Structure 1
Amino acid sequence: MVNRVPGFLLRHRVRIEPYLGDSAYGPRYGEAAENVPALVAETVRMVRAPDGREITSTAQVITAPGLDCPPGSRLTLPDGRITTVISVARHTAPGLPVPACTEVSCE
């Protein structure tokens, strides 16, 4: 059984609007998920975008596994700043005593 990241560690709340694709009028987003428990670190680091480009990430967000947040989604940080998701990493370690989580890197 895979352990989940403990809820008491997810001290922040974020809002996520999942990216659905582009339309003739610009990007389309799904229904917003409000008050998603998360742990937010606003640090600058380089990440690789899905197309292979290196991009500067200014915020990294850890959430429980199973989050619906594809690259391109809109994410509102606890301070109200709206940012775009660059990449999503799903961390699991079946059989090991470490928690599973989803890591989201944002512009």
Structure 2
Amino acid sequence: MVTRVPAVLLRHRIRIEPYLGESAYGPRYADEVEGVPALVSEAVRIVRAADGREVISTAQVIAAPDLDCPAGSRLTLPDGRLTTAINIAHHTAPGLPVPACTEVSCE
């Protein structure tokens, strides 16, 4: 039974700086994590941000289900483009033969 998205499908490598929150000096980020396996799709979609606004996502990232990437995190895509995570969706289907994964919608 498949429990995670197969690593062979995660052909891209991205860099993530997980968002930690706001400080007196602006946003704070954890140390960057390089070489994160992912599958990147650069497509324009409308998604809902954490505050309820509808915003445009220009890239979607599929990664392992245990990905640490809260909304507001900075991502560097395979082409070098720096973007911000808008929305994170954890896809699971316990007991079904489909892979669990995390989907990150990016600006």
2:63 counterpart of 1:36:
no
What per-residue deviation string (whole Å, max 9, x for no partner) do you get for residues 63-95 of structure 1?
A: 011111000000000000000000000000000
Shift of 1:24: 1.5
Which residue does 1:58 correspond to in 2? Answer: 58
Contact 1:15–1:32 (CA under 8 A) maintained in structure 2:
yes
Q: Which residue of 2 aligns with 1:85?
A: 85
Percent of matched pairs sharing the same residue:
78
- Taking only aligned residues, the RMSD between alpha carbons, in angstroms, comes to 1.0
Shift of 1:2: 6.3
Gaps of 5+ in 1: none
In structure 2, how many angstroms separate the alpha carbons of the residues matched to 1:91 and 1:99? Answer: 8
Q: Secondary structure at the match of 2:31?
A: coil
CA contact (8 A) 1:40 1:62 kept: yes
Runs of 4+ in 1 over 2 A off after TM superposition: none
Tell me how many residue pairs correspond in the alignment. 107
* Structure 2: gaps spanning 5 or more residues: none
Give the superposition deviation at 1:26: 1.1
| Corresponding residue number in structure 2 for 1:99 | 99
Q: 2 CA distance for matches of 1:81 and 1:61?
A: 13
Please state whether the residue corresponding to 1:8 is helix, strand or coil.
helix
- Contact 1:2/1:94 (<8 A) preserved: no
TM-score of the aligned structures, taking structure 2 as reference length: 0.97
Q: Write the distance in 2 (CA, Å) between the matches of 1:83 and 1:42.
A: 12
Name the CA distance, whole Å, in 2 between partners of 1:66 and 1:102.
Answer: 7
